[in-house]
Amino acid sequence: MTAERPQSEIAFEVNGEARTVYAYPMARLLDVLRHELGLTGPKEGCGEGECGSCSVLLDGVLVNSCLVPVLQAEGTKVVTIEGLTQNDGFKKQEGVNPELSMTALQQALVECGGAQCGICTPGIIMAATHLLRKNPTPNAGEIREALAGNLCRCTGYAQICEAVAKAAVPERTR
């Protein structure tokens, strides 16, 4: 029987809050987020870094959390889909409870029919958010490249790309 390894204390910031978890250093960040922290937005679609359903931002950078050993996330700032807020330059919805408000991107996905079963959606939004933060006016090719790591089995992608393009247009010209 192999000796039981000890768990490590991992301190990091998740969605703006300081958190500490006890986990094996080789536990996957995805599993720690879902099982220890109850953040089920990031999902396991493949466990191989191919589908993008598990995407999160790690120190502002898009990564597949199924491929990150949690020890490597120590001391970092992790943002999951649950952590995208209205204050990130996105449009507030007038007269609507802020907790029910959607970011411009989320709203565009609804309007364009870019979400069906919703499994890929959190990953898509993370990837698109990462894109729009770096490149607020992407062209069609840049949108497709940014989302190339996100697989969707329902929509056929066209409505998703449309939604990202729509969310990218400056508010004044909508």
Partner 1 sequence: MKANPADYELVAPRNLSEVVALLAKQPGMWLPIAGGTDLMVQYSAGKLAARRLVSLWNLPELRRIDVADSEVSIGSGCTYADLREHGVIEREFPLLARAARWTGSVANQNRGTLGGNIVNASPAADSLPALLVYDAELVLISMRGERRVLYGDFHLGYKKTLLAPDELILAICLPRRFSRYLQYSRKVGARNAQAISKVCVAALGHSADGSVQDVRIAAGSVAPVPLRLPKTEDAIREKPLDAALLRMARQVAASEVHPIDDIRSTAAYRSAVVGNLIVEFLQLLKSEARRLNALQRWNRLSLESAVQEALPCCGSQAWARKLAERRPYTDFASLIAASDEIWNRLDELDWLEAFSKHPRIGDREAPTSASSQSASWSRQEQGAVADTAEQLRSALVEANSEYERRFGRIFIVCATGKSATEMLDILRGRLQNDEATELRAAAEEQRKITNLRLEKWLSQ
Q: Which residues bind partner 1 (CB under 8 A)?
A: 2, 4-5, 23-28, 31, 44, 47-50, 52, 55, 61-64, 66-69, 71-72, 74, 127, 130-131, 137, 139-140, 145-146, 148-150, 169-170, 172-173
The residue among 66 and 167 lying less far from partner 1, judged by its C-beta, is 66
| Closest distance of CB 62 from partner 1, Å | 5
Tell me the helices (H) and strands (E) count for the chain, helix number first. 5, 5
Sign of CA dihedral 12, 59, 88, 139: negative
> What is the gyration radius of the CA atoms in the chain, in angstroms?
17
In terms of CB distance, is 74 or 88 closer to partner 1? 74
Instruction: Give least dist CB 156 to partner 1, A.
Output: 15
One-character DSSP codes across 37-104: S---SS--SSSSSSS-TTEEEETTEEEEGGG-BGGGGTT-EEE-GGG--TTTTPPPPTTS-GGG---H
Whichever of 63 and 109 has its CB closer to partner 1, that residue is 63
Question: In the complex, what is the shortest distance from the CB of residue 2 to partner 1, in angstroms, rounded to a whole number?
Answer: 6
The CB-of-126 to partner 1 minimum distance in angstroms stands at: 9
**DSSP-assigned beta bridge partners for residue 10:** 21
